[in-house]
Structure 1
Amino acid sequence: MGTIVVSENVSLDGVVEDPTGEGGFARGGWFAQYMGDRESWAQVEYAEALGAEALLMGRRTDEYFGPRWNTAEGDWADRLRMLPKYVVSSTIDEAIWINSTVLKGDVIEEVVKLKGRIAGEIVVYGSRQLARTLMEHDLVDELRLMVFPVVLGDGERIFGESSHVMSLRLLGTQTVGGGIARLAYEVVREAGAKG
């Protein structure tokens, strides 16, 4: 059975909105501004891609990453293109990113089926709404957060209101590029819980 890993770039106060500044959010663009050593960040992200068996994302994330990574060069780009990708959407029939399948229908049912078909890590990049839905339905197994050294004070956050408490166990920490903290957490479930 596959494991769902939500991997996000976040501000210290949990904001994930418009990291590149292309979305029109007044406080967007924090990703590059507080990146520090981009090469160190890229090495960690590439290692994560090497450990993944598939990627899972929402339509807007596919629209953002597809045009960039379909033509990018290098080992990381090659790895991302090779990975099977699954795009959750009720509005499109074909994804933009190469080697992608659109998952239609009930999101929860489709992701449960996907977890049953894929052995290994299914990594979710971006896709704030999808990540929240998966967390709310106890389908996330691990969180990997690249915490950038900035408090934005406003913006959409990775964690929203929830109907339940999500217990976590720290798996590891890492300083990336001198300013970013990478935190990895395992979701702790009660015995007999679904997921």
Structure 2
Amino acid sequence: MGTIVVNTNMTLDGVVENPTGEDGPGGGWFNATSDTDHEAWAGFEFEESLHTDALLLGRETDAWFAQRWSDRQGAWADRLNGLPKYVVSSTLTETAWANGTVLKGDVAEAVARLKAEVDGRIVVFGSGTLVQTLLEHELVDELRLFVFGALVGRGGRMFDAGSPATLRLTRAERIGDGMLFVAYDVVHG
């Protein structure tokens, strides 16, 4: 049985999207981290990738990662590019990133089947709309949040709407000079 883990970067005020138009999710606030913070974050994320068995993504996140990671070199890129990927979409016929499978139909049913078929950790990067649906249907098992020391005041938030959830803190630690990593188990039932 698989475990769904949401892994996301966010500001201290909960913003996960880029409100100003710079490159990609986070844009300015993500790119404004110090070199020390960025290196510590990258090392932490690489370690996390070694314990990931599959990726579950929304259509836009799949396209974003494919554009930025498909041609990268190195151990982290090799790991991410080689993982099986499952992309939830009602419009795609194939994924943008390598090793992908499109999940069609009812999202909750498709992901529940995926959890039954994949043994191990299934990580969701970004994919805010997908995460809201997964939380609503009690399919998320763990939240892993990288909280960046920034307040941006506007932009999409991962937890703006949706079903309430009871969480149990399992880990909290400082990453680099200005980031916090927190992990929560989602308590079901």
SS across alignment from 2:146: strand
Per-residue displacement from partner, 1:2-34 (whole Å, max 9, x unpaired)?
Answer: 0100000000011101288236x9x94210113
1:34-183 superposed matches below 5 A: 34-37=33-36, 38-163=38-163, 165-183=164-182
What residue ranges of structure 2 are gaps of 5+ in the alignment? none
Q: Distance in 2 between matches of 1:36 and 1:13?
A: 22
Letter in 2 for 1:22: D
Q: CA RMSD in A?
A: 1.7
Q: 1:189 aligns to what?
A: 188
Letter in 2 for 1:176: I
Give 1:162 shift: 2.6
Q: 1:21 aligns to what?
A: 22
Q: 1:193 aligns to what?
A: none
Per-residue displacement from partner, 1:130-170 (whole Å, max 9, x unpaired)?
Answer: 1111111111000000000011111110102234x311111
Runs (4+) off by over 3 Å? none
Q: Distance in 1 between matches of 2:184 and 2:167?
A: 6
Conservation of the 8 A alpha-carbon contact between 1:52 and 1:120: yes
Conservation of the 8 A alpha-carbon contact between 1:10 and 1:16: yes
Q: Distance in 1 between matches of 2:66 and 2:154?
A: 28
How does the TM-score come out when normalised to structure 2?
0.93
What residue ranges of structure 1 are gaps of 5+ in the alignment? 191-195
